[in-house]
Amino acid sequence: MTLFVITALLIYTAMHLVVFWGMHPLLARHRALPTLSWVLMVPMIFAPVGVRLLERYGYEWGARALAWTSFTWMGFLFIAFSMFIILFAFEILFFILKRITPLPRLSLRSAQSAAIIFIITLTAGIYSLHEATDMRVERISLQAESLGGSAKKITVAQLSDIHLGLMNRENILAPIVSKLQELKPDIVLATGDVVDAQINHIDELSDLWLRIDPPLGKYAVLGNHEYYAGLKQSIEFLEKSGFKVLRGESDSPRGEVTIIGVDDSRDADNSAIIRELDSPLYTIYMKHRPKVIAGELPFFDLQLSGHAHKGQIFPFNFLTAIPFPMQDGLYPLPRENYLYASRGTGTWGPPMRLLSPPEISIFELTKP
C-alpha cells in the first residue's frame, strides 16, 4: 500500500508539473503568479492523502470539505493535463526535428496557447460537473427464450459504481432511488462498487435503499471498492439496504430467471464456480470487471459489469480501453450471449464526468 501511495503521488506530481510547464508562459506575465501557483499546487498534490487520513481518524466534516475541494481540483487538472501533454509531445518532436534537420525550431508553447487551454479547461470542467448529475436511462431489449414460469417479460435495472462515501451520499442516491421508483423494474442488480472507502458514516443511507422493493428482489456483487471499505462492513451495509449479496452463488427468484454473482478479482477464471451453478433458465451473470473469460461463456446469457466508468473524464477512456476494451454498452459474444458494460451510476474521485454520463441500465427481457 505504501508503494502504491508513493507511486500515485509521483504520477500526480508529474501531472502538476506538466500543467505548470504549459501554463508558465501565461503565469510569468506577473512575477508573483508562478510562486503563488506552487503555493496552491503543493497542498493539492498531497490533499487526497489528507482526505483519507482525516476520514480514518473520524474528522468526517473536514475530510468531506477537503475531498470536495481537492477532487474537484483533480478533475480540472486531468482535463488540463490531457491537453498540455499533447503540447509537450509536440515540443519534444520539434526539438528532435531541430536536432536532425535544418528546419527552424518550432514551438506551440506560448501565453496564447496557455490561455486557450485554460479557457477550454474551465468550460469543460464546469460542464463535467453538470454531466455527473445528468443521469441517463439506457434501455436495452433482448429476447430471452428461457425465461421460466409464466413470465413473458422481465425488466432488469442495473446499477454500478455508485461509490457511496464522503462525497456521494443523499445527493446522488436520492435521485437514483427516485428514478427506480419511476421505472418500476422487476429486479435491481448492483454490479459492484456500491460503496467507496470508509463507510462508517453512511449507515443512514440504507433507509433510502429500502424504498426500493422490486418483486424479484435486489442483488449485489462485490467490487474492488467493497474490499477497500472492508468486506464485513460492506456486506453488512448492502444486506441492511435490502440486497442479497451473491458470492459465487446463484438465485432464481420465482423460478423466472437465474442470477449468478461472483466476487471481484483482477484475473480470476470463475468457470469452475459458475459451471456448478449452471441453470436451464435465462441466466444473468454479475461480475464487476468487464472481462470475458472463455471458460465462462457457456454458462450465462447476459454478463453485467461496470468498473471502467468509460474513463469518466475524456480522454481517459482511451486509457481504460487498454485493459477493458469492452467498457461501454452492449457487446455480442461468441455463444449468442452478451456482455453489457455500464459507464457507472456515480463518480469516483472527481465529482465530474466528461463525455461519459452516468447511467441506469434497463434491460427488457422478452420471451418470444
Half-sphere exposure (Cβ direction) of 242: Cα atoms closer than 13 Å = 17
Nearest Cα to Cα of residue 124 among 360, 358, 350? 350
Considering the chain, what percentage of its residues have pLDDT values greater than 90? 86
For 212-248, what is each residue's pLDDT tens digit? Answer: 999 999 999 999 999 999 999 999 999 999 999 999 9
Q: What is the pLDDT of residue 268?
A: 80
In 151-243, the DSSP E strands lie at 153-159, 187-190, 218-220
Q: What is the pLDDT of residue 334?
A: 94
Q: Is the pLDDT of residue 259 over 90?
A: yes
In 191-313, the DSSP E strands lie at 218-220, 244-245, 249-251, 258-261, 283-286, 302-305
Residues 67, 74: Cα–Cα separation, whole Å = 10
Query: Is the same domain home to 110 and 242?
Result: no
Q: Is the pLDDT of residue 284 over 90?
A: yes
Residues 15, 11: Cα–Cα separation, whole Å = 6
Q: What is the pLDDT of residue 199?
A: 76
Q: What is the pLDDT of residue 1?
A: 61
For 285-307, what is each residue's pLDDT tens digit? Answer: 999 999 999 999 999 999 999 99
Query: Is the same domain home to 108 and 156?
Result: no
Q: Is the pLDDT of residue 203 over 90?
A: no
Last residue of a domain, one of 131, 154, 169: 131
Nearest Cα to Cα of residue 93 among 105, 82, 111? 105
Q: What is the pLDDT of residue 100?
A: 86
What mean pLDDT value characterizes the chain? Answer: 94
Query: Is the same domain home to 350 and 289?
Result: yes
Strands 249-251 and 283-286: unpaired
For 79-115, what is each residue's pLDDT tens digit? Answer: 999 999 999 999 899 888 888 888 777 788 999 999 9
CB 237 within 8 A of CB 195: yes
Last residue of a domain, one of 92, 111, 131: 131
- Which stretches of 29-186 are DSSP H helices? 33-56, 60-100, 111-131, 170-183
Residues 254, 199: Cα–Cα separation, whole Å = 33
Last residue of a domain, one of 131, 161, 196: 131
Residues 296, 302: Cα–Cα separation, whole Å = 11
Query: Is the same domain home to 121 and 141?
Result: no
Residue numbers of the domain that contains 147:
137-366
Query: Is the same domain home to 220 and 270?
Result: yes
Query: Is the same domain home to 200 and 347?
Result: yes
**Quick check: pTM over 0.75?**
yes
Q: What band does 129 get if pLDDT is binned at 50, 70 and 90?
A: very high
- Mean pLDDT of the region 66-75: 97
CB 353 within 8 A of CB 135: no
CB 286 within 8 A of CB 307: no
Q: Is the pLDDT of residue 200 over 80?
A: no
Q: Which residues contact 211 (CB under 8 A, 6 or more apart)?
A: 177, 181
Residue with cell 418500476: 184
- Mean pLDDT of the region 42-50: 96
Q: What is the pLDDT of residue 220?
A: 98
Query: Is the same domain home to 141 and 119?
Result: no
Query: Is the same domain home to 115 and 22?
Result: yes
Query: Is the same domain home to 89 and 143?
Result: no
- Mean pLDDT of the region 128-143: 97
Query: Is the same domain home to 155 and 288?
Result: yes
Q: What is the pLDDT of residue 122?
A: 98
Q: Is the pLDDT of residue 189 over 70?
A: yes
Residues 254, 109: Cα–Cα separation, whole Å = 65
Query: Is the same domain home to 161 and 33?
Result: no
CATH of the domain at 222: 3.60.21.10
Query: Is the same domain home to 125 and 224?
Result: no
Helix (H, G, I), strand (E, B) or coil at 34: helix
Domain count of the chain? 2
Q: Which residues contact 361 (CB under 8 A, 6 or more apart)?
A: 138, 140, 157, 158, 160, 304, 340, 342
Q: Is the pLDDT of residue 137 over 70?
A: yes
What are the angstrom distances between the C-alpha of 52 and each of 48, 171, 196, 223, 360?
A: 7, 21, 11, 19, 29
Q: What is the pLDDT of residue 58?
A: 82
